Structure 1
Amino acid sequence: MFDYKTATEEEILLQAIGLLGNTVGSISDFTFSDKPAAQSRGEVGLAIERFFGIPQNNRQEADFPSAGIELKIVPVEKSANRYKVKERTSLTQINFKRLVDEDWKGAQLRKKLRVLFVFFEHRDGVPKSSFPIKGTHLWFPTPEEEALIGSDWLAIQNSARLGRAHELSEADGIIMGAATKGGSGQMVEQAVSAAPLAKSRAFALKPAFLKRIFDVHIAGAAEGTWVTAGRELPRVVEERLGRFVGMRLSEAARALTLQLGQGKGSAGHFIRLALGAQTSRSPIEELERAGMTVKTVRVTPEGRPYEATSFPHFLQKELAAEVWEESTLLYQLEGGIVFVPLVGVTRDTPREACVIGRPTVWKPDAGVLEKIRREWETFQASVRTDEMESSPKESETSLIHVRPHATTGQPLDKTVSGRRVKKHSFWLNKSYVQQVIGKPVLSP
């Protein structure tokens, strides 16, 4: 009989084999609610805990105490024949007062770095009980990963020691960050008595890192390295794009012996290839590991974008059910963006005649994310009341706005009341993107 309290590592892994090939509803007698997955995120985890015999509680000890192993449940989602991780994974709550007195060798966090990951696939419109379990992996950090986690831990500790924990951001860190915990309104005292209250946070592994674990150990991808991720990324971007700065797009394409396409996305396809993608649609390895995306921005010679910068479309019912700390937009923002300006004298300047400007690697700080959160909540409220049409326009917000992702085509989404509408997206405002990239630098 399996006993989670006394189970050894070998016994835990043998028990985990029973998850493979099953759905989350077939592994235990857990009863799922009819609420959407976004409103009942913990139910899948409770079902898997029940499979292992782990009761629902808030213990500080490991989920498998004798083995010192934590159990973490990770949702993945399939898009364009590739999987992405839907959310970060919290490791342990941060106690800022205790953190400042720790050293890395004896840090409480290190006791949480032996994890049995259980990956399941989230599927839209499917009952939670039918979500398939994709695989399991017992993870503990490699020397390279531990060095990066230690570096991220030290950066968070330094902020706490300086009384600047209130300035921490989900976007900080390479593979681990300080994620808000307990809701955006929950505040805690810092170690420095005179410092303002800080948001309650937890050490959390980033979605991009979790995706790499899934890709390597579940999907069978090559191991790769994290050396060029995170803080070295600006150097990588400069090395690969720097030589094209000041060149027309057509000239840069000839330099790489590439044929520049005629479609709207041809400039973006070229930039992706120049940054190291094997094809115009394949991932850029270093950027994907860092959770970073690339956006080409057509701008005036002064740096004013001709268009706002879009994110992938959202579904209104999903947005209505989200909380900011676990929202899709926050995950899309926290990895950061490489902005590549393409300078054209007019909006109608042919793409091949646009000049490549120096790229900007951007990650939002805590202040920016807080402003975006407030505007995001305004749009979420409009979705919940089925009033998206009357939500603020770009001219009425500071950083983000919402509008249809395309102006043509049939409605592809439904409002919370069931009306059929076009899919919408969040967009970064032109004025804010201009602040980020500044006046384009056109010299190598």
Structure 2
Amino acid sequence: MTIFSLPPPANESELLARAQALAGSSLEQIAARLDRRVPQDLRRAKGWVGELLELALGATSGSQAVPDFPALGVEMKTLPLQADGRPKESTYVCTVPLTDSEACWETSWIRRKLNRVLWLPVEAQAGMPLSVRRVGMPLLWSPNSEEEAILRADWEELMDMVCLGELEMITAHYGIYLQIRPKAANGHALCEGIGEDGARIRTLPRGFYLRSSFTAALLGRYYAT
């Protein structure tokens, strides 16, 4: 049985075992098992690495608004790393609801996304061909009480600004762990948001991102020797 034919993992232990089996493999090796072609680079194939690893692990969510492994409630996030082992960039979590505000943190989509995460480090240093980049050891993580308290405070502050029509005032400087940034293919991909007077406006879609300082702290805590 090839990796391509794997059914969804039955439990977290099976998921983690599959992820651990990928550790040390190059993206080219994983792609070959799945009969996939490795793109020359990611400029026109954004998201390819995550899609490849989801396929290799048996994720079934596709484009649905559910965690990548719905039966387990586990979200998968790749973590591109620089040559020194630090995260290369912030981590996209989910879109920001700009008009239909979620009532509370406990039932928010972002909390469900971050409740249980399978982190997969991937080499991503500048100049390294995509094909030879290797996958690292996985981490199955849930926020502890301190992390969740800060994530919640960030979310509440940012969503208050969104609901009060202060969307255009939000910069990447707001938030300790979470930040809101525009997320669109180009400046013409507009959606509805709430303006200062409460009226609907046309604006760029926004996304919630975890700061690289947050994921760097995770790496330091769980991978430090």
Task: State the TM bucket, normalised to the shorter chain.
Answer: 0.7 to 0.9
Q: Is the 8 A contact 1:166 1:196 kept in 2?
A: no
Corresponding residue of 1:128: 130
Aligned positions of 1:211-290 closer than 5 A: 211-220=216-225
Question: Which one of 38, 45, 49 corresponds to residue 44 of structure 1?
Answer: 49
Say if 2:13 is the partner of 1:10.
yes
Q: Give, in angstroms, the shift of residue 201 of structure 1.
A: 0.9
Corresponding residue of 2:24: 21
Corresponding residue of 2:155: 153
Change beyond 3 A, Cα 1:105–1:125? closer
Question: Which one of 167, 170, 176 corresponds to residue 168 of structure 1?
Answer: 170
Corresponding residue of 2:139: 137
Q: Is the 8 A contact 1:178 1:203 kept in 2?
A: yes
Corresponding residue of 1:91: 93
- Equivalent position SS for 1:118: strand
Q: Is the 8 A contact 1:77 1:122 kept in 2?
A: yes
Deviations 1:91-117 (A, max 9, x none): 111112222x51122222211111101
Larger RCO (alpha carbons 8 Å, 6+ apart):
2
Q: Give, in angstroms, the shift of residue 204 of structure 1.
A: 1.3
Gaps of 5+ in 2: none
Q: Normalised by the size of structure 2, how large is the TM-score?
A: 0.85
Quote the sequence identity (%).
26
CA distance in 2, matches of 1:23, 1:219: 23
CA distance in 2, matches of 1:59, 1:22: 28
Matching residue's letter, 1:62: P
Say if 2:182 is the partner of 1:203.
no
CA distance in 2, matches of 1:56, 1:103: 24
Say if 2:70 is the partner of 1:70.
no
Change beyond 3 A, Cα 1:218–1:21? same
CA RMSD of aligned residues (A): 2.1
Q: Normalised by the size of structure 1, how large is the TM-score?
A: 0.45
Corresponding residue of 1:31: 37
Aligned positions of 1:243-392 closer than 5 A: none
CA distance in 2, matches of 1:48, 1:131: 13
CA distance in 1, matches of 2:73, 2:133: 28
CA distance in 1, matches of 2:12, 2:44: 33
Deviations 1:190-237 (A, max 9, x none): 2454264332111111111111112222344xxxxxxxxxxxxxxxxx
CA distance in 1, matches of 2:80, 2:206: 21
Gaps of 5+ in 1: 221-444
Q: Give, in angstroms, the shift of residue 11 of structure 1.
A: 1.5
Q: Is the 8 A contact 2:19 2:137 kept in 1?
A: no
Q: Is the 8 A contact 2:93 2:207 kept in 1?
A: yes
- Report how many residues are paired: 214
Q: Is the 8 A contact 1:7 1:64 kept in 2?
A: no
Matching residue's letter, 2:7: D
Q: Is the 8 A contact 1:179 1:201 kept in 2?
A: yes
Q: Give, in angstroms, the shift of residue 25 of structure 1.
A: 1.8
Question: Which one of 50, 58, 64 corresponds to residue 59 of structure 1?
Answer: 64
